[in-house]
């Protein structure tokens, strides 16, 4: 084998066998959170000289990570790895996983040291990255040697346990197998089986390699069922593949989010909010963008297409939409997945949507009713509430249908007038069919602006469409989750021929599932 001629960006992980699980987590975290490669001894091919492979990868590493525990200090193999790294003057990152006596051989070394026993893995990675930043500076200042050609450094022999230390019979056998590997390059089947049993619960890829090698051997014991192990491992591989897919997906999402956080700083607020919402739609289970969205969140005024505005109702603590909700505005709800996401629906509304297979308002495709600035019609009370809950969610404003009391006050004010514009009926101030002189359909919500407005300047409070209110017609409560089977309508519509239906105090009801061409809604904000 030949070593690399310059250190690459590989971190060599040196650890004792009892810390394999923790090392697995570190190994994965380095790949997930850093730009470094990582190497550990489970990467050694079966045909390779294991100690030669370890030395080779120490020589080519950017830095040597020693995971210090008492088992590590007691292991002649771990200390052999550390000795060779120090001999090569490799940068050493010492992660103290247990409180142990600091190795004397490290006292005079310039190394990065961190206690990590009580840290979560992301905190450990921060320690590692901090150390590698200093190491990079060290390389730039020639503090560490880049001359790693093996001919200039006599590789140490395979470490062996101290003769004075009593060795259990099992350890003697393992040591003999290690010696056999060093001499013959062939791992005994018994050792492969033992290693396979250790790895199949923690390193699926390595376990598969080991099982494939075992299957090729002629001396497999009768009690080891290769076919049965293969079936079990296949199930584990599927689970691992899914976990790996999710891990890679989260890695990609985090990268996209980092890019997004930088990108939106260059945009206008409205464009930034749209970019963030596109990210949230693509990755609905990733929570972090919500904090970013707070910074760039659009208000309902910013979000809803024109015409839209709020009219503040003095001394009442609420605002009401100047116009009924239009088709163009309702289209924004549809495009945002409004009919696909149950979080914006009441339970009863979602059940009805599902059973009736609603995907859009009833007259959505009819040119008579679907002009952009015409009020949306053919929407049930359930759909109107879902629109309000969606808009509340994405703007963080408290938006809902007006209560019956809110609607009437916004239409009538304090002086008890009969109609929004005054005491007397005037058919020219709203869209109606009194005396059968109507136009037979809805009109743009701005058409009667400045003519039939309420005392506060609210448009179309009479005529054009009946408007859903939040209120239960019979009990007069305002609970969106109640079982009320009749909800209040107010205002009169384009098709009504009785002037009394346009009075500010006229009450009508309709079933919350109803979808009529004379019924729409407007918004209230508290």
Tens digit of pLDDT for each residue in 112-160? 678 888 888 888 998 898 888 888 888 777 777 665 554 445 677 777 6
Decide if pLDDT at 432 tops 80.
yes
Q: Which residue is it, tokens 């790294």?
A: 85
Q: What is the pLDDT of residue 20?
A: 86
Q: What angle do CA 351, 357, 359 make, to 5 degrees?
A: 110
- Per-residue pLDDT for 111 more than 70? no
Its pTM stands at: 0.51
Q: Is 101 helix (H, G, I), strand (E, B) or coil?
A: coil
Q: What is the pLDDT of residue 187?
A: 67
How would residue 499 be classed by pLDDT, with cut points 50, 70 and 90? very high
Classify burial at 327, counting beta carbons within 10 Å of its beta carbon; exposed 0-12, middle 13-18, buried 19 or more. Answer: buried
Break the chain into its structural domains and give their ranges. 10-167, 310-525
- Residue bearing tokens 């930043």: 133
Question: What does the pLDDT read at residue 178?
Answer: 41
Q: Which residues pair with 509 in a beta bridge?
A: 488
The reported pLDDT for the residue numbered 403 is 98
Asked if omega into 307 is within 30° of 0 (cis), the reply is: yes
Tell me if residue 25 falls in helix, strand or coil.
Answer: helix
Q: What angle do CA 350, 442, 426 make, to 5 degrees?
A: 125
CA 202 to chain centre: 26
Asked whether residue 164 carries a pLDDT value surpassing 60, the answer given is no
Using a 10 angstrom Cβ sphere, with 0-12 exposed, 13-18 middle and 19 or more buried, the burial of residue 61 is buried
Tell me if the domain spanning 10-167 has CATH number 3.60.40.10: no
Q: Distance between alpha carbon 214 and the CA centroid of its chain, in Å?
A: 41
Q: What pLDDT, on the 0 to 100 scale, is given for residue 186?
A: 57
Q: Is 3.40.50.10490 the CATH classification of the domain at 310-525?
A: no
Kindly state the percentage of the chain with pLDDT values over 90: 45
What's the Cα-to-Cα distance from 191 to each of 136, 175, 180, rounded to whole Å?
A: 40, 11, 11
**DSSP code per residue over 358-420:** -SS-TTTT-TTT--TTSBP-S--HHHHHHHHHHHHHHH---EEPPPHHHHHHHHHTTTT-SBT
For 310-319, write each residue's pLDDT tens digit. Answer: 999 999 999 9
Residue 282's CB is within 10 A of a number of other CB atoms, namely: 10
Q: What is the mean pLDDT of the chain?
A: 85
Name the pLDDT band for 293 (thresholds 50, 70, 90): low
Determine the straight-line distance between the first and last CA of the chain, rounded to whole angstroms: 75
Are 28 and 21 in contact, with CB atoms under 8 Å apart? Answer: no
């Amino acid at each position: 084998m030949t070593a690399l001629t310059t250190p690459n960006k590989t971190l060599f992980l040196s650890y004792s066998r009892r810390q394999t699980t923790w090392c697995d987590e570190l190994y994965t975290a380095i790949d997930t959170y850093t730009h470094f490669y990582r190497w550990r001894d489970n990467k050694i091919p079966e045909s390779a000289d294991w100690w030669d492979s370890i030395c080779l990868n120490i020589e080519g590493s950017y830095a040597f990570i020693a995971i210090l525990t008492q088992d590590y200090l007691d292991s002649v193999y771990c200390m052999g790895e550390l000795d060779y790294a120090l001999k090569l003057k490799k940068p050493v990152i010492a992660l103290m996983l247990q409180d142990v006596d600091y190795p004397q051989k490290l006292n005079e070394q310039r190394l990065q040291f961190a206690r990590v026993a009580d840290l979560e893995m992301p905190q450990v990675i921060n320690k590692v990255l901090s150390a590698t930043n200093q190491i990079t500076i060290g390389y730039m200042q020639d503090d560490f040697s880049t001359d790693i050609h093996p001919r200039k450094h006599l590789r140490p022999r395979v470490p062996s346990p101290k003769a004075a230390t009593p060795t259990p019979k099992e350890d003697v056998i393992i040591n003999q197998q290690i010696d056999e590997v060093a001499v013959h390059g062939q791992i005994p089947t018994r050792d492969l089986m033992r290693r396979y049993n250790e790895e199949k619960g923690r390193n699926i890829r390595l376990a598969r390699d080991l099982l494939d090698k075992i299957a090729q051997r002629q001396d497999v014991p009768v009690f080891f069922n290769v076919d049965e192990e293969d079936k079990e491992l296949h199930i584990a591989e599927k689970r691992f593949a899914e976990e790996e897919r999710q891990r890679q997906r989260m890695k990609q999402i985090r990268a996209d989010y980092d890019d997004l956080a930088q990108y939106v700083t260059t945009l206008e607020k409205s464009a930034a909010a749209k970019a963030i919402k596109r990210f949230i739609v693509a990755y609905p289970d990733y929570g972090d963008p919500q904090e970013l969205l707070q910074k760039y969140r659009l208000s309902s005024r910013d979000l809803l297409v024109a015409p839209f505005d709020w009219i503040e109702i003095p001394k009442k603590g609420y605002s009401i939409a100047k116009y009924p909700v239009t088709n163009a505005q309702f289209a924004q709800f549809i495009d945002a997945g409004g009919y696909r996401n149950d979080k914006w629906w009441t339970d009863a509304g979602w059940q009805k949507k599902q059973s009736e297979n609603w995907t859009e308002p009833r007259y959505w495709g009819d040119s008579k009713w679907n002009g952009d600035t015409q009020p949306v019609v053919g929407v049930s009370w359930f759909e109107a509430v879902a629109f309000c809950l969606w808009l509340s969610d994405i703007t963080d404003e408290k938006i809902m249908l007006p209560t019956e009391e809110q609607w009437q006050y916004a239409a009538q004010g304090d002086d008890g007038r009969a109609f929004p514009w005054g005491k007397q009926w005037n058919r020219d101030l709203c869209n109606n069919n009194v005396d059968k002189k109507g136009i037979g359909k809805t009109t743009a919500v701005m058409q009667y602006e400045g003519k039939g407005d309420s005392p506060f300047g609210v448009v179309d409070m009479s005529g054009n469409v009946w408007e859903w209110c939040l209120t239960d017609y019979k009990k007069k409560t305002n609970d969106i989750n109640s079982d009320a089977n009749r909800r209040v309508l107010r205002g009169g519509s384009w098709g009504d021929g009785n002037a009394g239906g346009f009075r500010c105090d006229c009450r009508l009801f309709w079933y919350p599932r109803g979808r009529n061409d004379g019924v729409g809604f407007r918004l209230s904000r508290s």
